[in-house]
Structure 1
């Protein structure tokens, strides 16, 4: 009976599929970890994240955009002041979109401990060359980084990387880009595990929608490293992903006006 109850408690959510933003507040209840995806420059996605965070009331926030050092600069003195916090984080120099979209997320959980999962660029470049396991450290096996990807899975991930980079990367570089993505997923999952140990949860993760995928993103890494956690994966997209989207729940919002993202590449 206890085993059945545990299984039921980890079965989040009861229904999977598209969700209206207004239903997010109810959907996040009962989760230990809510992975909230985004398209980085979409203001609607950040508004939905702030809404979900306010409803969850997490003990910790994990940001893809912040290093641990940057996260430590989120003090009560600067947290409520968007200008001061943006300056303290060195946000503009890091190259992320307008901080005004992200600041409401910090305000939505004023007491949450902020954790950063961003990695130094030299470590990411090393993962491209040598593989994620070589960079991650002693816990690589716990997060599945010591395992070679099955050929079909690797091919699918290579195709995703090729599309994400507008088909402009040399084919020989794409497997390394997959390793860099695996490293980032594992780093985010490790930050969640650390946040859970420190605070007891719940934890909200603010990250790109690719990292929110259940089949290969942060939820997949957590399933290996911390299988007892109840994880809810929420993808945010700008087009209908179809019925087999790799998320528990997903929201589709219109794309904001933007130039050709491939032009810069």
Structure 2
């Protein structure tokens, strides 16, 4: 039984991201006010001092666009307000997360070195470090599927074999409905500037599902271990409530999904709440495919 079962009363409130495209980070900025666009029946403005209302939830997803410094500033403020029992990072493997000590959390340079962040492919560590600082006192967990692991799973022994015996529990043994598979392949093509061979698309969708399942398993285990909320630091795509990580969690968990976007969401955006911030400064991401 979950330690928090029967204690949580809230449900709505957090968001996911697209397939992990890592872009170099820009300058770090603190955004003091969050403008949140929620579902039509729950629209409201949320500021960092109000986000603690989700403290009684079991799981809170704090979504992001990886290279947007406003999103990471908001995540750090939210973690401070929520005082979670555990924080699960998409950006860390379990082995890297296990290296983190209270002493390391106070030393930005040494923590980045220990995590080998410069070679990780994630944006500037200066944007993420305040989130780690705010996580002090919580269990810090990693649920990253590396590119090498993803490649081996798709081209080698298969995702279900690599994930383990509970692959069916997290949906990896089932084929997606045809319409969803087609839509997700189209999203992968669009996210990669229509530059991918079509033969790659099914495998990329499978890798996304593998990453969702890996996050979901880590979150589920954390929810059994801690009494406070489990906060998930991840991209907006993984935080989707329709087919992302929230959809794979035990039904008894009270889950809030908050996405962070750079413009108001289109109708049907599959998250509980939306935070709209200024955009990051970035070059055209499609240049890399030209």
Under a length normalisation based on structure 1, what TM-score does the superposition of the two structures give? 0.90
**Residue 103 (structure 2) pairs with residue 53 (structure 1):** no
Between the aligned partners of 1:195 and 1:201, the Cα distance in structure 2 is 10
Q: Is the 8 A contact 1:36 1:234 kept in 2?
A: yes
- The corresponding residue for 2:178 is 151
User: After the TM superposition, which residues 63-102 of structure 1 pair with which residues of structure 2 at under 5 Å, given as runs?
Assistant: 63-102=89-128
Structure 1: tracts of 5 or more residues without a match:
1-5
Task: Select 1:260's aligned residue among 258, 265, 284.
Answer: 284
2:232 matched to 1:205? Answer: yes
- Correspondent of 2:189 among 150, 156, 162: 162
Distance 1:43 1:121 in 2: 24
Q: SS at the partner of 1:28?
A: helix
Q: How does 1:231-246 map to 2 (within 5 A)?
A: 231-246=255-270
Secondary structure of the residue aligned to 1:247 is coil
In the other structure, the counterpart of 1:137 is 164
Q: Which residue of 1 aligns with 2:243?
A: 216
CA distance in 2, matches of 1:59, 1:45: 21
C-alpha distance in structure 2 between counterparts of 1:47 and 1:11, whole Å: 24
Task: Give the Cα separation in 1 of the matches to 2:43 and 2:176.
Answer: 29
Flag the 1:20–1:198 CA change in 2: closer, same or farther, 3 A: same
Instruction: Give the alignment partner of residue 25 of structure 1, picking from 41, 45, 51.
Output: 51
Deviation at 1:110, TM superposition (A): 1.1
Inter-CA distance 27–151: structure 2 relative to 1 (3 Å threshold): farther
Q: CA RMSD in A?
A: 2.2
Unpaired segments ≥5 residues, structure 2: 1-5, 14-37
Residues 1:120 and 1:242: Cα distance change in structure 2 (over 3 Å): closer
The match for 2:216 is 189
Q: Is 1:189–1:221's contact at 8 Å kept on the other side of the alignment?
A: yes
Task: Report what 1:3 is aligned to.
Answer: none
Change (3 A) 1:20 1:29: same
* 3-state secondary structure, aligned to 2:283: coil
Aligned to 1:9: 9
TM-score, structure 2 length as denominator? 0.82
